[in-house]
Amino acid sequence: MIAGTSITATFEGGPIVDRALIVLLVVVSFACVACGGSLRSGETLVLRESEHGILVSEEGEAEARPDRARFHVGVEARRPTVAEARDAAADAQRRVLDALRANGIGDEDVQTDQLSVNPEYEYTDQGQRLLGYTVRNAVHVRVTDVSRLSATIDAAVGAGGDLTRLDGIQFEVSDPSEVRARAREQAMQRARATAEQLARLAGVELGEPIAIEEVVQHDGPRPLMMEARMAADTAQATPIEPGVTRTTVQLRVRWSTH
């Protein structure tokens, strides 16, 4: 924006008002609008003469402690032949699934999402040499009681032994509507406060909201990436901290003016 430029806007029900003070607050937003960019949180749009009112964009955040989790667990076996690798993986994965069921995981909360058979080669100056075959069999598991997560993982890993592979954990909130409502309320309070300040600076009276747009963003479930290759006779429980998930709501609100 060129220094010294003054911007004016027509307000509904009133004359053209000098906006020099508001320019100081919204110079970045105006530049974005001029080049076709979008309005970001905390920025305020100076309206063109063909538009009326005040448009603001604000964010609200809220946190919640997860009450359920998901993790990915499976087995990996390498043997000289496909049949031997398949049998070893099948036996280990069967023990893993039995351990999950023994810890209260229902069949509806377990889904196979990886099953593969691949040759393994060693590459030397003389060429490639077949080392054997690797079979991977893994499932996606949902735990609806996060307090049982550590015990469930330990049981599954212990059952699979040295063939077990644990790829990651994700935490979730089973009902996100409450945390979303808190974030939305905060965003609306911030939007109103910004609009009221701009109305005072412009010398106009703030009216009612005439248009509202909402964008919801979830900072979660937060993944905790890990890989397990534990012995079956491990003595200590695996410590797991679910932390919190964060939900962000962005509101774009257009207010009428008088």
Digit-coded pLDDT (tens) for 131-153: 999 999 999 999 999 999 999 99
Q: What is the pLDDT of residue 18?
A: 39
Contact 54, 195 (CB under 8 A): yes
| Mean pLDDT calculated for residue range 27-52 | 47
**What pLDDT score does 254 carry?**
95
What is the pTM (predicted TM-score) of this model?
Answer: 0.64
Work out the average pLDDT over 98-117.
96
The chain-wide mean pLDDT, for the chain, equals 80
**Residue 40, pLDDT above cutoff 70:** no
How much of the chain, in percent, has pLDDT values that exceed 90? 63
The CATH number of domain 8-63+176-219+247-257 is 3.30.110? yes
CATH class of 68-172: alpha beta
Of 65-69, 100-104, 123-127, the one with minimum mean pLDDT is 123-127
Domains 8-63+176-219+247-257 and 68-172 are alike in CATH topology:
no
Is residue 253 predicted with pLDDT exceeding 50? yes
CB atoms within 10 A of CB 191: 26
Q: Which of 41-55, 56-70, 96-110, 160-174 has the lowest mean pLDDT?
A: 41-55
Residue 117 or 222, more confident:
117
pLDDT at 1 over 70: no
In 3-state terms, what secondary structure has residue 257?
Answer: strand
Separation of alpha carbons 141 and 153, rounded Å: 10
**Sheet with 164-172, side-by-side order of all strands:** 110-124, 127-143, 68-79, 164-172, 223-225
3-class DSSP state of 238: coil
pLDDT of 125: 86
Residue of higher predicted confidence among 50 and 72: 72
Quick one: pLDDT band at residue 219, thresholds 50, 70, 90?
Answer: low
Residue 177 C-beta-side C-alpha neighbours within 13 Å: 1
CB-CB contact of 146 with 66 (8 Å): yes
pLDDT higher than threshold 70 for residue 129? yes
Give the confidence band of 90 by pLDDT, cuts at 50, 70, 90.
very high
Domain range annotation of the chain: 8-63+176-219+247-257, 68-172
C-alpha distances in Å from residue 161, one per residue of 27, 84, 156, 183: 62, 17, 9, 44
